Amino acid sequence: MMQIFIPLNFLGFVYREMKGALANIEKMFSLLTVKPAVADTPGAPSLQVREGRIDFEAVQFGYNDSREILSQVSFSVLPRQKVAIVGASGAGKSTLFKLLFRFYDASGGAIRIDGQDIRSISQESLRRAIGVVPQDAVLFNQSIRENVRYGRVDATDEEVMAAIRHAQLADFVEQLPQGVDTLVGERGLKLSGGEKQRVAIARALLKKPPIMIFDEATSSLDSRSERGIVASLQEIAREQTTLVIAHRLSTVVDADKILVMDQGRIVEQGSHGQLLEQDSHYAMLWRMQQQERTPVMGEESPEAP
Ligand code: ATP
């Protein structure tokens, strides 16, 4: 998902960029991607985010002419809703994110934020409005505190600590020898996939963009990390419009809406309860994941709400 193969020397360049003045996770995200396929129209105005509503209207897209990847994709995310996207590998989930971030333009239909077609506004303002929690967050050989502060360099220590608490990292940090000043990365502590993603969530909470896109790590998480991720996601979704690519259905049971994708189409949408009632694609995925789940001592089995 959004994984790009890049030469190591380019990564070195990216790292130096990051160590420099920027400290802006979205800039890193855009640096890591292939060269932009779209350009601003001259004098494009800035996006005006009033509420944070997102509309995909009959969106069509292919990376090349020979194959359509998204067909007639329509859905709305209302302000401060949490919408989850689920579906098999290759269904087109991260392509939706790439279009929302405007790495590419749709070949048909439109994507609007608070009524503004994203092709008509500046890319800089679009990306400023969207926070990204990627699958593989990049951490630097610095303290946890500084890694979180990349979300907003002028944040106070108190704000950084609040973000750490809201990302459900406080208990973990307290156990570390130097607390928030513990170094992470190559020369410091190695964090698990779930812990790294919670650092990325803390960064995003500190930045507080009106729209948040979250690409859940596919790596296996222990049940504690998984619960931590679910809780920190709830924290994000409380105030921000949130779109989540979910691989574990435990992350989505409380979503306002779940979009089920298959071969570039939305084949079902609704709440967890509604989709279970329909007893179709989602219900089948849910039953499969319930069977796969290995019981962990002391853990309650997940129930449908
Ligand atoms: P996964 O869960 O495995 O990440 P996904 O649902 O996010 O899958 P996408 O990454 O959106 O799926 O990919 C949808 C389709 O588009 C796939 O068939 C993929 O091979 C193709 N695709 C993705 N990126 C590109 C690209 N840059 N150029 C050409 N085809 C691509």
Binned at pLDDT 50, 70 and 90, residue 1 comes out as very low
Q: Which helix (H) or strand (E) holds 204?
A: helix 193-207
Measured in Å, residue 90 CA sits from the centre of ligand 1 at 5
Q: Which of 54-68, 195-209, 214-228, 248-262 has the highest mean pLDDT?
A: 54-68
Q: How many CB atoms lie within 10 A of CB 101?
A: 20
Task: Quote the ligand 1 centre to 149 CA distance (angstroms).
Answer: 32
Q: Which distant-in-sequence residues (6+ apart) come within 8 Å of 116 by Cβ?
A: 47, 48
The residue nearest atom 20 of ligand 1, judged by CA position, is 90
Distance 95 CA to ligand 1 centre (A): 6
Q: Strand 82-87's sheet: what is its strand order? A: 130-133, 211-215, 241-245, 82-87, 257-262, 265-270
Going by pLDDT thresholds of 50, 70 and 90, the confidence category of residue 185 is confident
The CB density around residue 42, as the number of other CB atoms within 10 Å, is 5
Residues in the ligand 1 pocket, defined by CB under 6 Å: 1, 63, 69, 87, 89-95
pLDDT(294) > 60: no
Distances (CA, A) of 166 to 134, 181, 242, 305: 18, 18, 16, 23
For residue 137, the one-letter residue type is: A
Asked if residue 291 has pLDDT above 70, the reply is yes
The type of residue at 188 is G
CA distances from 271 to 144, 186, 255 (A): 36, 42, 7
CB neighbour burial string for 135-160, b if at least 16 within 10 angstroms, e if fewer: bbbbbbebbbbbbbbbbbeebeeebb
For ligand 1, pick from 93, 136, 214, 216 the residue to mutate: most ligand atoms within 8 Å of CB.
93
Report the atom number in ligand 1 closest to the C-alpha of 218: 2
CA-proximal residue: ligand 1, atom 21 (nearest)? 90
Centre of ligand 1 to C-alpha 63, Å, is 9
Per the prediction, the chain carries an average pLDDT of 83
CA of 103 to the centre of ligand 1 (A): 14
**Residue 130 to residue 32: CA distance in whole angstroms:** 16
Average pLDDT over residues 29-53: 79
Ligand 1 centre to CA of 97 (Å) is 11
Evaluated on CA atoms 94, 240, 129, 192, the torsion sign reads: negative
Average pLDDT of span 37-51: 92
